[in-house]
Amino acid sequence: MRKTLFAALPLLALAAMSGGELVAQSALQDRSEAVRNAKPRPAPPASAQNAPASDQGVTGAIHAAHQGQIVFTRSDFSLGSITESALAKDFVLGQPIFFRVFMERSAVNHLARRNSIAAGTVYADGVLYKARFTVSGQVIETSFGAWGGNTEHRTWTTWRGQLLNPDPRLTIPGSEVLRELLARGTGAGLLGPGNWPVTMEVVPFGPDNSGKMLAGDPVARGSFNLTVPAGAIRPSNPLLCVPGRGAAGSAAIEARTMSVSRQLWHENGTVPEKAIAIGDDWEVTRNQITGIPIERTTKVLVLARGPKFCTTHVHEFTEKHMGGGNFATASGGMSNRVQRGYVPCACLG
């Protein structure tokens, strides 16, 4: 049974999420929550634990030339198609930015070596990555959504991502870390109009089979120059901010969302400021016998302002069926399950 927050219920926390193609990124964020809440599998036999995981090693000449590096491109390239001539260093915020990570060993083997344990004791399904940026000497640490599983984290020594991609159908990792970088960076007085040298590192981490968290070191590093045009970060730019109202949305839904948010908000240091009904359709729950609608659900986005950066929160918005095909928007409620992330405060207007 879906748990829904209505205005009459006790206070529950509405938390923090990633902007831009929020709906497209939700699968990554859902998996991230699942990974963090998952119970580690029983440890394999000692003989399997003692050997390092069999990984890809060096996958080709370009990997050998850039091992331990992150390279950047203007288009998405498969491992077999990326070439030296495709690599780029200069980008304009708002244009496509893709990257590929070339590591010395897989994430599992790195964590095993870094923590002086056997590879078999690393819980591969739980591996996550941080993206650590340095801008004007200031370090800004961000988090990738969860991606991949046991096979990828045990074997892959190279993987690709996107910092900015105009095509929302492609949801490889990375857009979430750019938005967090922009949110935290602009809040710290960085990444305003002008040219900014940026260094990016990726750092794996995750639990062992007992649940103990294992720290990693940077496994790859790369740099690029980012030109930020004046006015690039604005509410009407969904690539850097958030989507507009969806096909299922309405001003009435947004007004109700803000009303509920103001009453129930319990996110320390932030204040809900704006709601957008981003859903394009409704999921209708019906009586299994009669087929009569019980309720319908769509997605809403709440933007909140904090002292240093702004956050985004995607909830399910549910309306009860009132009969005759009518649903009660004015008494609609919001789920206590939330997809969290960051957005530059300029996106709030």
| Residue 336 confidence (pLDDT) | 84
Asked whether residue 28 carries a pLDDT value surpassing 90, the answer given is no
Domain count, the chain: 2
Asked if residue 299 and residue 253 are part of one domain, the reply reads yes
Asked whether residue 79 carries a pLDDT value surpassing 50, the answer given is yes
Confidence of residue 340 (pLDDT cuts 50, 70, 90): confident
Asked if residue 150 and residue 119 are part of one domain, the reply reads yes
Asked if residue 256 and residue 162 are part of one domain, the reply reads no
| Residue 266 confidence (pLDDT) | 83
Asked if residue 290 and residue 169 are part of one domain, the reply reads no
What is the pTM assigned to this prediction? 0.81
The string of pLDDT tens digits covering residues 52-61 is 889 999 999 9
Q: What is the mean pLDDT of residues 282-298?
A: 97
| Residue 339 confidence (pLDDT) | 87
Asked whether residue 2 carries a pLDDT value surpassing 50, the answer given is no
Asked if residue 220 and residue 341 are part of one domain, the reply reads no
CA within 13 Å, CB half, 204: 34
Q: How far is CA 2 from CA 153, 317, 334, in A?
A: 33, 11, 10
> For residue 234, is it within any domain?
no
| Residue 16 confidence (pLDDT) | 32
Q: What is the mean pLDDT of the chain?
A: 87
10 versus 246: the higher-pLDDT residue is: 246
* Last residue in a domain, options 228, 256, 287: 228
249-266 burial, b at 16+ Cβ within 10 Å, e below that, comes to: beeebbebbbebbeebbe
> For residue 162, is it within any domain?
yes
> For residue 9, is it within any domain?
yes
- Domain extent, residue 148, equals 28-228
List the one residue out of 251, 253, 344 whose CA is nearest residue 306: 344
Asked if residue 263 and residue 224 are part of one domain, the reply reads no
> For residue 197, is it within any domain?
yes
Asked if residue 109 and residue 206 are part of one domain, the reply reads yes
Confidence of residue 338 (pLDDT cuts 50, 70, 90): confident
| Residue 169 confidence (pLDDT) | 73
DSSP type of residue 115: T
Asked if residue 14 and residue 138 are part of one domain, the reply reads no
> For residue 237, is it within any domain?
no
Q: What is the mean pLDDT of residues 254-269?
A: 91
List the one residue out of 265, 264, 263 whose CA is nearest residue 304: 265
> For residue 23, is it within any domain?
no
Asked whether residue 25 carries a pLDDT value surpassing 70, the answer given is no
Q: What is the mean pLDDT of residues 198-226?
A: 98
| Residue 268 confidence (pLDDT) | 74
| Residue 42 confidence (pLDDT) | 52
The string of pLDDT tens digits covering residues 80-113 is 999 999 999 999 999 999 999 999 999 999 999 9
| Residue 171 confidence (pLDDT) | 76
Asked if residue 116 and residue 52 are part of one domain, the reply reads yes
> For residue 79, is it within any domain?
yes
Q: What is the mean pLDDT of residues 209-217?
A: 97
Backbone dihedral region of 206: left (phi > 0), alpha (psi from -120 to 50 degrees) or beta?
A: left
* Last residue in a domain, options 228, 257, 284: 228
Q: What is the mean pLDDT of residues 137-160?
A: 96
List the one residue out of 344, 345, 16 whose CA is nearest residue 179: 344
The string of pLDDT tens digits covering residues 301-334 is 999 999 999 999 999 999 999 999 999 999 999 9
Asked if residue 74 and residue 46 are part of one domain, the reply reads yes
Asked if residue 91 and residue 222 are part of one domain, the reply reads yes
Contacts of 161 (CB under 8 A, 6+ apart): 98, 99, 100, 101, 144, 172, 173, 174
Please tell me the distance from the alpha carbon of residue 241 to that of residue 235, in angstroms, as a whole number.
6
| Residue 337 confidence (pLDDT) | 81
Asked if residue 205 and residue 98 are part of one domain, the reply reads yes
Angle at 210 between CA 208 and CA 213, to 5 degrees: 45
The string of pLDDT tens digits covering residues 161-194 is 999 998 877 778 999 999 999 999 999 999 999 9
Q: What is the mean pLDDT of residues 31-48?
A: 48
| Residue 269 confidence (pLDDT) | 86
* Last residue in a domain, options 228, 253, 269: 228
> For residue 135, is it within any domain?
yes
